[in-house]
Amino acid sequence: MSALRVVTVDDEPLARERVSALVRESEGLDLIAEGRNGLEALDLITALDPDLVFIDVEMPELSGFGVIAALDGTRVPGVVFVTAYEHYALQAFEVGAIDYLQKPVTKQRFAAAVHRAKERLDRRSAADRRSVVVGAALAERARGSRTRFVVRRGNAHYFVPVDQVDWIDAADNYLRLHVGDRTHLCRGTMKEAEEELDAARFVRIHRSAIVALDRIVSITGLEAGGHTIELRGGMKLRASRQYADRVRALLR
Amino acid sequence: MWTILAWSGVIAVGVAAGNYAKPPAFARGGGGGGRLLPRVPGPPPDLPALLWTFGVGSVVWYAVILALPFMLLAARRIDVERIGRARTVALIVVVVVALIAATSITEYFLLYHGIQMRPSMMNYMPVALRQNLLPWVAIAGIVAAIEGRRRSRHSELERERLRAAVAEQRLIALTGQLHPHFLFNTLQGISTLIHRDPEAADEMLSKLADLLRDLLRHRDRVLVPLGDEVRFARTYLEISKLRFADRLAFEIDIPAELHQASVPLFILQPLVENALAHGIGARMSGGRVTLGAQRQNGRLHIEVADDGAGMTTASPREGIGLSNTRERLRASFGNDQRLLIDPAPAGGVIARIDIPYQLHSSAAGAQ
């Protein structure tokens, strides 16, 4: 069996250094990259397609859960969460991670995690991989309401802050974020987006459209029962009858 | 309550019977084994006397029983601490005398209603007052005993509650200081350094020891010198700087003469931790934490500022830390204190504490 290709991710240099050292000391592991934050981790994982990732949960801007949740469901590495929080350890299991390590990481415990990884990585099905992504998205959502989207261009990832988004529509399993005259694709469904976004700032107007309230210029009622919503910049969207209640609530 | 009422009823009937009744001529059932019931055939003898005894003659006892619940309720509402012990006694005496007089007058009109040959009010009253004295004084005594017992039990509970609250405050103060994640992340850092740089590991370990020592030393105090708080915050920030390397910068600008000012224990720590979470934890590029304090017109102003992501990233955990701080400020200074959390002009968040300036007792050599 060839060596497992490993990426380590932690925003604290000392913590990262220790885990990386343990990876180097382990037989059958090959450290190919270190990430200093969530976004960098996302780029590295996408570009390098590692077999195994040791990743901190609590990181600035994009947490370990957020990183895994933003991955393309087809190529998901084995995940070992490293955390100082006991309750994240529990969540890590629910997410379907291979293992979790509590800080400070001991040699013995690390070896046990590596052993598990070698055993389980081969047996993972495509469904297992996807369920890790979904589980991580749930865990990330539990940490609080969404403040930004993660979008991918090539192998690089970017943040799109929620308050820059004018409106969102759905395209298969993706969300199309409209920001000024640009659009970004982001993994997710309308239902998820509606749940994650602050209801005081966004409203769903259609099965496949959500708009930012402060971008609305005018709302015109239609005879058929729906509404036409004009956004700043002249864009006009149709609000369906199904969501007319929510639109009418805006007019009050 | 009902047992008390029933008891009073029994006493009242007993006393009434003893006081007023001519012994009713109960007919004993001949050979019936001593039944105390009137024989069924034939009228119970001397019914008017019996009725009189339990009716008009016992007016004072009915009044006493009726008054009991109201007296109990009234007794509950007397605030002895506010009106004073002497005035409480005077109030009770006045009420009892008024009740005796009122029942006596009522009795007079009820007894002699429609009767021509009645004694004058002046002649009747001394007798009536004497007769009605006992029931009312007795009932006042019962009420006082019940209320006294209730109050002593209540104050015991209150003491217990206060003791628990103080213990809880202390626990909150202690546990609010050092989150386990800080401890474990620091241990992780030390475990890394042991392999690479034993000197640095040693330094980090001794700083952690300082922090823990401070944490344990102060556990029985409510107010501490600001200097102690500053030292704790500095050690905490130094350890954090080792953990985050180039991502953290901090500055403490608190003049030495303010180090003797009195502040609630661990008042700075939650604010510093908050600033770290906003300024460093939430941003990849890192940030800067600034501590400052000034004395102005008898007030002490303390500031903890960060240049981080601002207020939107606040998480519920930080909210708990801040509400603990507010609670402890209120416990020490009542309403004479303020904790304001505002967006800083240059981005980030600024927390301001405004409390009365007091010299800590340790400065005067009292502690």
pTM of the predicted structure, to 2 decimals: 0.65
Q: Residue B238 pLDDT more than 90?
A: yes
Average pLDDT over residues B66-87: 86
Last residue of a domain, one of A127, A142, A157: A142
Does residue A32 share a domain with residue A74? yes
Q: Cα(A77)–Cα(A97) distance, rounded to whole angstroms?
A: 10
Does residue B150 share a domain with residue B232? no
- The tokens of A59 are what? 């990181």
Find, in chain B, the residue whose alpha carbon is nearest to that of A85: B181
In chain A, residues 27-56 whose CB comes closer than 8 Å to chain B: 36-37, 39
Q: What is the pLDDT of residue B285?
A: 75
Q: Residue B199 pLDDT more than 60?
A: yes
The reply to whether residue A104 touches residue B184, judged by beta carbons under 8 angstroms, is yes
Q: Which residues of B touch A60 (CB under 8 A)?
A: 280-284
Q: Cα(A252)–Cα(B18) distance, rounded to whole angstroms?
A: 79
A32: domain range?
4-142
Does residue B347 share a domain with residue B206? yes
Does residue B219 share a domain with residue B188? yes
Kindly report the average pLDDT of chain B as a whole number.
79
Give one DSSP letter per residue of B53-101, joined into a string. HHTGGGHHHHHHHHHHHHHHHHHHH--HHHH-HHHHHHHHHHHHHHHHH
Average pLDDT over residues B118-144: 84
Calculate the alpha carbon distances from A243 to A238, B134, B154 in Å.
Answer: 10, 79, 58
* pLDDT tens per residue, range B206-223: 999 998 888 877 666 778
Q: Cα(A115)–Cα(B343) distance, rounded to whole angstroms?
A: 48
The reply to whether residue A12 touches residue B185, judged by beta carbons under 8 angstroms, is yes
Q: What is the pLDDT of residue B256?
A: 92
* pLDDT tens per residue, range B294-348: 999 999 999 999 887 665 544 434 455 677 788 888 888 888 999 988 888 777 8
Domain containing residue A172: CATH number: 2.40.50.1020
Does residue A198 share a domain with residue A113? no
- Return the CA Rg of chain B: 38
Domain containing residue B291: CATH number: 3.30.565.10
Q: Cα(B1)–Cα(B147) distance, rounded to whole angstroms?
A: 12
Find, in chain A, the residue whose alpha carbon is nearest to that of B282: A60
> Residue A12 is nearest to which of B244, B284, B316, comparing CB atoms?
B244
DSSP 8-class letter at B278? I
Alpha-carbon distance A233 to nearest alpha carbon in chain B (angstroms): 27
Pairing mode, if any, of strands A227-231 and A236-239?
antiparallel
**Number of residues assigned to chain A:** 252
Q: Which residues of A touch B242 (CB under 8 A)?
A: 14
The reply to whether residue B185 touches residue A144, judged by beta carbons under 8 angstroms, is no
How crowded is residue A160: how many other Cβ atoms within 10 Å of its Cβ? 16
Q: Cα(B300)–Cα(B322) distance, rounded to whole angstroms?
A: 19
Last residue of a domain, one of B157, B172, B187: B172
Instruction: Sheet containing A182-187: give its strands across.
Output: A182-187, A174-179, A167-171, A209-212, A202-206
Average pLDDT over residues B239-245: 88
Q: Which residues of A touch B193 (CB under 8 A)?
A: 14
The reply to whether residue B185 touches residue A11, judged by beta carbons under 8 angstroms, is no
Q: Which residues of B touch A144 (CB under 8 A)?
A: 315-316
Query: Which of the four pLDDT bands, split at 50, 70 and 90, describes residue B41?
Result: low
- The tokens of A216 are what? 């609305």
Instruction: Please list the rounded mean pLDDT of every run of 10 residues in chain A (252 residues).
Output: 90 93 94 94 93 92 89 86 84 86 93 93 82 85 79 86 91 89 88 86 91 90 86 89 84 75
Instruction: Sheet containing B287-296: give its strands across.
Output: B248-253, B287-296, B299-306, B349-356, B338-343
Does residue A159 share a domain with residue A89? no
Q: What is the pLDDT of residue B23?
A: 40
Number of domains in chain B: 2
Query: Which of the four pLDDT bands, split at 50, 70 and 90, describes residue B363?
Result: low
Residue A212 Rama label (left phi>0; alpha psi -120 to 50; beta): beta
The reply to whether residue B184 touches residue A13, judged by beta carbons under 8 angstroms, is no
Please check whether residue B250 is in contact with residue B288, taking contact to mean a CB–CB distance below 8 angstroms.
yes
Does residue B108 share a domain with residue B157? yes
Last residue of a domain, one of B109, B144, B172: B172
Q: Which amino acid is at B269?
A: Q
Does residue B163 share a domain with residue B201? no
ipTM, two decimals, is 0.74
The reply to whether residue B192 touches residue A39, judged by beta carbons under 8 angstroms, is no
Q: Does A13 touch chain B (CB under 8 A)?
A: yes
Give one DSSP letter per residue of A87-131, joined into a string. HHHHHHHHHT-SEEEESSPPHHHHHHHHHHHHHHHTT--HHHHHH
Instruction: Give the mutation candidate from A9, A12, A20, A87 for the B interface (greatest B CB count, under 10 A).
Output: A12
Number of domains in chain A: 2
- The tokens of A27 are what? 């037989």
Q: What is the pLDDT of residue B317?
A: 40
Q: Which amino acid is at B91?
A: L
Alpha-carbon distance B238 to nearest alpha carbon in chain A (angstroms): 14
The reply to whether residue B282 touches residue A14, judged by beta carbons under 8 angstroms, is no
Last residue of a domain, one of B128, B145, B172: B172
In chain A, residues 197-236 whose CB comes closer than 8 Å to chain B: none
B189: domain range?
178-364
Q: Residue A208's Cα: distance from chain center in Å?
A: 20
Report the SS3 class of residue A159.
strand
* pLDDT tens per residue, range B154-169: 888 888 888 777 777 6
User: How deeply is B16 buried, as exposed, middle or buried, from its count of CB atoms within 10 A (0-12, 13-18, 19+)?
Assistant: buried
Does residue A135 share a domain with residue A10? yes
Q: Which amino acid is at B357?
A: Y
Q: Residue B65 pLDDT more than 80?
A: yes
Q: What is the pLDDT of residue B9?
A: 61
- Return the CA Rg of chain A: 21
Alpha-carbon distance B185 to nearest alpha carbon in chain A (angstroms): 6
From the list B353, B318, B319, the residue with the least C-alpha distance to B333 is B353
Report the SS3 class of residue B42.
coil
Domain containing residue A133: CATH number: 3.40.50.2300
Which residues on adjacent β-strands are paired with residue A218? A230
* pLDDT tens per residue, range B97-107: 998 888 888 88
Does residue B90 share a domain with residue B23? yes
Pairing mode, if any, of strands A174-179 and B248-253?
unpaired
Does residue A85 share a domain with residue A48? yes
Does residue B186 share a domain with residue B45? no
Find, in chain A, the residue whose alpha carbon is nearest to that of B241: A12
Does residue B125 share a domain with residue B247? no
Q: Which residues of A touch B205 (CB under 8 A)?
A: none
Does residue B251 share a domain with residue B218? yes
